[in-house]
Amino acid sequence: MKDKTIVGHSLTDDFKTLNINTKESNCSVRDISNIDIFMQKIDRDSHSPIKDGEQCSPNLNGSVGVLGSKNSSHSMKSDKGQGGKLSTPRKKVIANFIIKKRKLKDLAGEFLNAKIQSGHHSSVIDARAALALYRMNYEVIETQFRCREALKELQLQKDKMELKEHEEDKTSTMEKSAALGGASE
């Protein structure tokens, strides 16, 4: 799996179950459940879906739109109600609307006009559906992925610069106190 691109839907639980560390393997992961175009916006107040270009209800202060992000818990949880299977959070709250992950069954029905997971559940059919969704929206997904990676890299560079400045300030302060301490003797 080294240096490969892995495409699927809700892959976090699969990696955890299989004890796969994608960072160690240097794998690129394209989890379509985390791609914006496959997510569903839900108005926090009315709990109704928001269509593209549609406004959601205003906040208490009257403003509308994305103000910030409050991510739900990122920790893995054991869900006793589902036979002890691992589960990941399915919602992310942003401003006055919620971004909800959608089921692969629903995505395949809407985007591929394919009926999957009805009665018999096949991991092969699921994988093919996820790959078809990825291929259908390849440019959008890759652009989003590259933007996220670039932002992460910029944040790392910023953090390194701030750390370096902090260390330089600390060294400078220590040198000044040593100079002042030596001058008083």
For the chain, the structural domain boundaries read 5-137, 138-180
User: Quick check: 169 pLDDT over 70?
Assistant: yes
Among the listed residues 116, 134, 136, 138, the one whose alpha carbon sits nearest the alpha carbon of residue 125 = 116
CATH of domain 5-137: 3.30.420
**Greater pLDDT, 130 or 97:** 130
Confidence (pLDDT) at 132: 95
- pTM score above 0.85: no
User: What is the C-alpha to C-alpha distance for residues 175 and 185, in angstroms, rounded to an integer?
Assistant: 16
**Greater pLDDT, 102 or 94:** 102
Greatest mean pLDDT among 14-23, 63-72, 132-141, 169-178 = 132-141
pLDDT band at 94 (very low <50, low <70, confident <90, very high): low
User: Quick check: 91 pLDDT over 60?
Assistant: no
- Give the Å distances, CA to CA, from 42 to 50, 53, 109, 121: 6, 13, 19, 28
Please state the φ and ψ torsions of residue 42, each to the nearest 5 degrees. Answer: -130, 130
Q: Where are the alpha helices (DSSP H) in 112-137?
A: 123-136
